Copies of this chain bind each other. A is one copy, B any other.
Amino acid sequence: MDYLQILERIHKAILPYSKEGKQADYIPELANVNPDQFGMCIHTLSGETAAIESADTRFSIQSISKVFALAMCHSIKGDALWKRVGKEPSGTAFNSLVQLEMEKGLPRNPFINAGAIVMADILLSHLSNPEEDFLRFVRAVANNNTIEYNHSVALSERSTGYLNAAIANLLKYHGTIENDIEEVLHFYFLMCSIEMSCRELAVAFAAFANHNRPFDYAGITLTTSQVKRINAIMQTCGFYDEAGEFAYLVGLPGKSGVGGGIVAIYPLRYSVAVWSPRLNSKGNSVMGIKALELLTTETAESIF
């Protein structure tokens, strides 16, 4: 398949949607991004790469970072991880406190904010230098040593992150996190602040797509089975309250971020990343979802 042609056809086809949706504006760093950008990169396991438009522009990966955190936590804790966080879709908005209160502080899955805050807590407890170790792992899996946190984004997030602070306090109340709340929140927001391009994300997620290759990056190792299970969780929980819709339209495991990025993988075939800042009402990139829907339609292939 000529993936470059496919991506270009997709880009043309989704242009009518280029002004739909609204970028995240709860912090100035996200509000000030030019919302009219679009990038896409596909990386096949046979070694092909196709990239179009702003595929090399870095953006705030935000919740996509939760997949990296899950990989580290799963490597560190194994199946004991699931005593700290569930693996069921939430069925409610990504930030719901209701479910958390009803379920006594056990987050439904690692990709809702509560779950990711618990993962931040786990990493703080188990890593000697959590901030360095996390960044080293992401750089290793993306094979790129220039990837960085954006500390200004992290600080902005914390200064207005009342809902996440409410969640962290509720978790602490239920005894679900061990470390100091401020440290946990700081690390949580820092992980979310990592900036990567579509090309870098496509490379990084190839490690999840290619579960037959040993997963071993900066000391973080996962078995084939563990990688596949992370993929399963991306499938069922990767898109907040729109996981079913994404499975229906796209049919690939993936993860979105409020910065407008989406990654998806076709196990043993390819990884793909797309970015466009305008979001739909569920917090997922409008053009990103359209592009991925067209990708599985054009290639006539999905996991289903």
Residues of B within 8 A of A297 (CB): 225
Which secondary structure dominates chain A's binding surface? Answer: helix
CB neighbors of B among A251-302 (8 A): 251, 253, 267, 297, 300, 302
For A, the interface residue count at a CB cutoff of 8 angstroms equals 51
Contacts of A243 in B (CB 8 A): 88-89, 236
CB distance A251 to B228 under 8 Å? yes
Q: Which residues of B contact A173 (CB under 8 A)?
A: 162-163, 166
B245 touching A88, Cβ below 8 Å: yes
The answer to the question of A247 belonging to the interface, with a C-beta cut-off of 8 Å to chain B, is yes
When the two chains form their complex, are residues B109 and A244 in contact, meaning their CB atoms are under 8 A apart? yes
Supposing A236-B89, A245-B87 touch, asked if A166 and B170 sit within 8 A by C-beta, the answer is: yes
Task: Tell me which residues from 149 to 188 in chain A have a Cβ below 8 Å from any Cβ of chain B.
Answer: 162-163, 165-167, 169-170, 172-173, 181
Given A97-B97, A166-B167, A166-B169, the answer on whether A304 and B231 have CB atoms closer than 8 Å is yes
**Contact: A162 with B169, CB < 8 Å?**
yes
Given A98-B101, A247-B233, A304-B232: A88 touches B242 (CB 8 Å cut-off): yes
